[in-house]
Amino acid sequence: MDGSAAIEQDRVALKRIVASLVAMAGLAVGPDGEAPAEGELQSTLPRHLWRAILSLLRPAEAAARRLVIAAARGLVVSLPPPREQGQRPATSAPFLRSLGIAVMASPADLSAAARRAKAEARRAAASARPRTLSLPLFDPLRLSLSPGLAEGGRHGPVRAVPRILFPGLIEPSPLPRPPSREDPVSAACLGRRLAALTAALDDLPGQAMRFARWKARRDLGLTRRVAPLRGGRPPGGRLARFEPTGYRLRNVREVDEILVHAHSLAVEALESPDTS
């Protein structure tokens, strides 16, 4: 199976999984798996259902991210030359106006003021428009552990915490009640992530162009992040490597198999010399 056929097979399988997650979250899903509207999502979900959806959503996002990287293999993007920032001429007109002294504005000053007004109007219009949903192109970085946790220190709930009444007298205070599996959890962020993932799977070539543009900026030294994928096991995955044997292991979900296969495709695309 060539690379494009493998990418398409994983994409179709991911769309089916995402459609099931959208149904679990209580969204109206179209026949072709259209991106769900943010207002259609239930305001809250039970904690156990929210966790179940999130446990499948994280590896699905990681798999889609790797399919984007694999689809960007061989794409070459030419960035426009950076615009030269001209040095503004120093003028004493603002200082004189602050003192109440009338200053005649030159035609160049008037045109510059008009350009600044148009730029401010464009920025205000852009901020008023709703933000478009997009799948992150990079894996989230791991959080660094404290020295005590890194050395295997205690990490878990305790029975009570100290409560200082006044200096010299400390009384243990009970901890608050642990969260219940039926507690309502806000589902707004979950809905936005589902919508972004659905839109990315529906427009894989466009997402590949996004990655190609980022890679071109990275090659020019214009980005902070140098590697889109983090080391080790992919986020949310339960498999360490891809085994093309057709044998399904116990306690391995379909999304885990898709993720580890997409990871192998992405690593091959990143290491290929024709993508540089």
Please state the pTM of the whole predicted model.
Answer: 0.71
Q: Is the pLDDT of residue 74 over 50?
A: yes
Distance CA 261, CA 219 (A): 27
Give the pLDDT confidence score for residue 133 in this predicted structure. Answer: 78
Over residues 99-128, the pLDDT tens digits come to 667 666 667 766 777 888 888 888 777 666
Q: pLDDT by residue (tens digit) across 12-38?
A: 999 999 999 999 888 654 444 444 444
DSSP structure class, residue 139: P
pLDDT over 70 (residue 40): no
Task: Give the pLDDT confidence of 163-179 residue by residue, as tens digits.
Answer: 666 666 666 666 677 78
Q: What is the pLDDT of residue 149?
A: 47
**Position 141 confidence tier, pLDDT thresholds 50, 70, 90:** confident
Strand residues in the chain grouped as ranges (E):
44-46, 160-166, 169-174, 184-186
The pLDDT value recorded for residue 42 is 56
Q: Residue 194: how many CA atoms within 13 Å on its side-chain side?
A: 34
Which helix (H) or strand (E) is 261 found in, with range? helix 254-271
DSSP 37-84: PGGGS-SEEEHHHHHHHHHHHHHHHHHHHHHHHHHTTT----PPPPPP
Span 208-220, pLDDT tens digits: 999 999 999 999 8
Which pLDDT tens digit goes with each residue over 237-257? Answer: 887 665 655 555 566 789 999
DSSP-derived 3-state class of residue 151: coil
At residue 124, the pLDDT reads: 78
Residue 240 has what pLDDT? 67
